[in-house]
């Protein structure tokens, strides 16, 4: 999955440090595209010496520091171009792609929270933790993380495969966001019922995944159909929902997602 970058390691602990010339500078334009160069089939980010600007420390990978450029104006560096994280996901893998996903998550938070939601004053960077603080009313906000579930519903030797009505064009599993006052397990039951009309039982946790492209934490569960598994698909949400035998599962064209790993595990008989 996208976070599996061993032996490299992401260190996301907060540090109040200044950027240096050789540090990586992650620049986004107003549309959320990131500035990159493609060299030897790999993603390369500009260094601070290429494009000095106001920046905040984001994280480190293998002791290499990454900073996010702040402000509305995008950076310009010769031979570099702006690409969406979706474009990068479809072509690349490894620690650079994970860095781009994680940086986008933080950039989106900084970009969406320039002013205090209580009094309207301009927010300032926290100096003791990753936060934004209002010096006028004292309001403090933290990076937003949206919990969502990925659900592998099984029945005998089949799994419930879906495709979205719009957007992502490949096979997927039932998925959805957790609502206010709801447990993750309750989200599983509700989302499967809403999207496919299938009642479920024996809900069990599998694995989780950060998914910075949508500011999510994805939580994977497997469960079983409770009853005959008759499908009553929500046609506003899905264009396909069918029980598919293990050997007939068609995986996604890349291995970054928790969804694809869960389908692969079932296809190979490991679940």
Q: What CATH number does the domain containing 15 carry?
A: 3.90.79
Mean pLDDT, residues 56-69:
95
Are 172 and 70 contained in the same domain?
A: no
The answer, yes or no, to whether residue 50 has pLDDT greater than 80, is no
Are 156 and 232 contained in the same domain?
A: yes
Residue 126: inside a domain, yes or no? Answer: yes
Are 138 and 178 contained in the same domain?
A: no
Instruction: Please say whether the beta carbons of 68 and 110 come within 8 A.
Output: yes
Are 150 and 257 contained in the same domain?
A: yes
Among 143, 164, 193, give the residue marking a domain's end: 143
Are 77 and 42 contained in the same domain?
A: yes
Are 107 and 123 contained in the same domain?
A: no
Instruction: Please give the pLDDT value at position 78.
Output: 79
Q: Reduce the DSSP state of residue 242 to 3 states and report it.
A: strand
Residue 257: name the closest of 189, 202, 194, 207 by CA: 207
Residue 3: inside a domain, yes or no? Answer: no
Q: Model confidence over 96-117: pLDDT tens digits?
A: 999 999 999 999 999 999 999 9
Instruction: Please say whether the beta carbons of 209 and 139 come within 8 A.
Output: no
Average pLDDT, the chain: 93
Are 128 and 178 contained in the same domain?
A: no
Q: Model confidence over 145-185: pLDDT tens digits?
A: 999 999 999 999 999 999 998 777 799 999 999 999 999 99
| Cα 52 from Cα 63, distance rounded (Å) | 21
Q: Model confidence over 64-80: pLDDT tens digits?
A: 999 999 876 567 787 89
78 CB neighbour count, 10 Å cutoff:
8
Residue 58: inside a domain, yes or no? Answer: yes
Beta partners for residue 151, in sequence order:
174, 221
Are 216 and 176 contained in the same domain?
A: yes
Instruction: Please give the pLDDT value at position 54.
Output: 83
Residue 257: inside a domain, yes or no? Answer: yes
Number of domains composing the chain: 3
Residue 102: inside a domain, yes or no? Answer: yes
Q: What CATH number does the domain containing 236 carry?
A: 3.90.79.10
Are 134 and 212 contained in the same domain?
A: no
Question: In the chain, pLDDT over 90 holds for what percent of residues?
Answer: 84
Are 105 and 121 contained in the same domain?
A: no
Are 120 and 221 contained in the same domain?
A: no
- Most distant CA pair in the chain: distance in Å? 63
Are 199 and 218 contained in the same domain?
A: yes
Q: Model confidence over 229-265: pLDDT tens digits?
A: 999 999 998 999 999 999 999 999 988 999 999 999 9
262-271: long-range contacts, CB 8 A cutoff, minimum separation 24: 262/150, 262/152, 262/173, 262/206, 262/220, 262/222, 263/152, 263/159, 263/161, 263/171, 263/173, 266/152, 266/154, 266/159, 266/222, 271/152, 271/154, 271/206, 271/222
Q: Which two tokens stand for residue 141?
A: 């906000």
Instruction: Please give the pLDDT value at position 72.
Output: 63
Residue 111 sits at φ, ψ, to 5 deg, of -65, -35
Residue 64: inside a domain, yes or no? Answer: yes
Among 143, 163, 184, give the residue marking a domain's end: 143
Domain span at residue 122 reads 113-143
Mean pLDDT, residues 210-220:
95
Residue 2: inside a domain, yes or no? Answer: no
Instruction: Please say whether the beta carbons of 108 and 215 come within 8 A.
Output: yes
């Amino acid at each position: 999955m996208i976070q599996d970058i061993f032996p490299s390691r992401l260190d996301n602990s907060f540090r109040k440090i200044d950027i240096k010339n050789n540090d990586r500078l992650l620049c986004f334009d107003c549309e959320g595209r990131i500035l990159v160069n493609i060299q030897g089939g790999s993603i390369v980010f500009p260094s601070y010496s290429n494009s000095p600007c106001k920046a905040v420390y984001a994280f480190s990978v293998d002791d290499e520091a990454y900073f996010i450029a702040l402000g509305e104006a995008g950076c310009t560096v010769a031979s570099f171009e702006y690409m969406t994280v979706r474009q990068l996901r479809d072509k690349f893998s490894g620690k650079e792609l994970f860095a781009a996903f994680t940086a986008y998550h933080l950039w989106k938070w900084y970009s969406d929270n320039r002013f205090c939601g209580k009094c309207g004053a301009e927010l300032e960077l926290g100096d003791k933790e990753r936060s934004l603080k209002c010096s006028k009313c004292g309001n403090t906000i933290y990076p937003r993380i949206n919990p969502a579930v990925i659900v592998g519903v099984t029945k005998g030797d089949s799994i419930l495969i879906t495709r979205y009505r719009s957007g992502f064009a490949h096979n997927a599993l039932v998925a959805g966001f957790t609502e206010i006052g709801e447990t993750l397990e309750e989200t599983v039951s509700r989302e499967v019922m809403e999207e496919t009309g299938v009642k479920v039982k024996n809900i069990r946790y599998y694995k989780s995944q950060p998914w910075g492209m949508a500011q999510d934490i994805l939580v994977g569960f497997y469960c079983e159909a409770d009853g005959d598994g008759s499908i009553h698909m929500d046609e506003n949400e899905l264009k396909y929902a069918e029980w598919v035998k293990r050997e007939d599962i068609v995986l996604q064209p890349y291995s970054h997602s928790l969804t694809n790993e869960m389908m692969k595990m079932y296809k190979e008989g490991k679940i």
